[in-house]
Amino acid sequence: MLSKVAVALSEPLAMFEFGVVCEVFGLDRTMDGLPAFDFRVCGAEPGRPLRSTTPGVTVTPEYGLADVIDADLVAIAAFHVSGIDDPANTPVVDAVRAAAAAGATILTVCSGAFMAGAAGLLDGRTCTTHWKYVDQLAARFPAATVDPDVLFVDEGNLVTSAGTAAGIDACLHLVRRELGSAAANGIARRMVVPPQRDGGQRQFIERPVADCESEGLGEILHWLSENLELQHTVDDLAARAMMSTRTFARRFAAETGTTPVKWLTNQRVLLAEQLLEESDLGLEQIAARAGFGSGALLRHHFQKLVGIAPTEYRRRFGARPESA
């Protein structure tokens, strides 16, 4: 159960990434029916202001490292990577290591992965960090497998995320994994964040809302999202958008970063995820509602994009309590 969340601060601290963790786990949203977390900002010396990478801004932790060690989730916000060699941060490394040994889940945002590496938590595991630091992370921790192409990596009790906004994806993923989609969706709505992104990774992410700069294409994507059960061709979509097929395909790729066929497949898989979580429909029924036509085709695409079979996904994430 995800209850006590501790942020382990090192300096110089990156304010945005710290703010991401505070926004997801630190605000009281119980009036909206969302879960409350016992949220604690921790440092080696409670009450001593810590430098940030923003000139003139400091953060003063209220709690000490004992609250890191017995937390359910320990979040490590980004900091300037040179700080990993600062002896002042050694007690934080030790606390993170002790918390992991005690069973805590460790979440790193951006360069926070270096702290997890210093604690010995990356060895033999896949992880990620900001693209600017992937080579440096791989060189410093050669026993780790650093994936530069993903927004975050879920290794069970270790979740590492890429730079800045990818931390939002990772935080919401953790909420969803532990407390269900309703809680993650509720927090995301309150934050008014952009849709979570696929990024080509095998992650259990929320269904994105169509969001494009072009008003005409945005309408097409919204219509597609509401009619996934129908069969669509690129020619038909281009005609609906009043464009040539070639122009439509080029415009679609420019604004969504993928092809119409891949976008549709991804949306259908994400709808299937939702139905597996929230309904007791059979696989063939879900396949029909999501536009795959057959359970075999659904299983093929689901396994390819999500990394596990639909039945296993339902076993892990289905029948979430309404209170979540």
The DSSP code sequence of 139-178 is HH-TTSEE-TT-SEEE-SSEEEE-STTHHHHHHHHHHHHH
Identify the pLDDT of residue 258: 82
Note the pTM of the prediction, 2 decimals.
0.64
DSSP state of 132: G
Question: Does the pLDDT at position 202 exceed 60?
Answer: no
What average pLDDT does this structure show over 268-296? 92
At 318, which amino acid appears?
A: G
* Res 301 pLDDT > 70: yes
- Euclidean distance between the first and the last CA atom of the chain, given in angstroms as a whole number: 12
Contacts of 56 (CB under 8 A, 6+ apart): none
Contact indicator for 124, 36 with CB cutoff of 8 Å: no
pLDDT tens sequence across 18-34: 999 999 999 998 988 88
Across residues 63-75, what is the average pLDDT?
96
pLDDT higher than 60, residue 196:
no
DSSP string, 179-242: H-HHHHHHHHHHHTPPPP--TT-----PPPPP--S-HHHHHHHHHHHH-TTS---HHHHHHHTT
Domain boundaries, the chain: 4-191, 207-324
pLDDT of residue 46: 95
CATH number of 207-324: 1.10.10.60
CB 152 within 8 A of CB 203: yes
Query: pLDDT by residue (tens digit) across 131-181?
Result: 889 999 999 999 999 998 788 999 999 999 987 788 998 999 899 888 887
Is the per-residue pLDDT at 182 higher than 80? no
- The DSSP secondary-structure symbol of 14 reads P
63 pLDDT above the threshold of 90: yes
Q: Could you read off the pLDDT of 244-278 as tens digits, one per residue?
A: 999 999 888 877 778 899 889 988 998 898 899 88
The topology (CATH level 3) of 4-191 is Rossmann fold (3.40.50)
CB 14 within 8 A of CB 75: no
- Measured distance CA(218)–CA(163) in Å, rounded: 27
Quick one: tokens of 49? Answer: 């202001």
70 versus 182: which is more confidently predicted?
A: 70
Given the structure tokens 């990356």, which residue do they identify? 122
Two structure tokens written together for 225 = 């999202």
Report how far residue 177's alpha carbon sits from residue 235's, in angstroms, rounded to the nearest whole number: 39
SS3 63: strand
If you average pLDDT over residues 110-125, what whole number do you get?
A: 95
* Residue 132 pLDDT: 85
103-107, 112-116, 264-268, 281-285, range with the lowest pLDDT: 264-268
Cα 154–Cα 159–Cα 160 angle in degrees, nearest 5: 110
Backbone angles phi, psi at 164, to 5 degrees: 50, -110
Are 25 and 191 in contact, with CB atoms under 8 Å apart?
no
Distance between CA 142 and CA 93 in Å, rounded? 18
Q: Report the alpha-carbon distance of residue 244 to residue 120 in Å, rounded.
A: 55
- SS3 percent helix, strand, coil of the chain, rounded to 5, is 50, 10, 40
Kindly tell me the burial class for residue 202, based on how many C-beta atoms sit within 10 Å of its own C-beta (0-12, 13-18, 19 or more).
middle
Q: Given pLDDT bands bounded at 50, 70 and 90, which one contains residue 319?
A: low
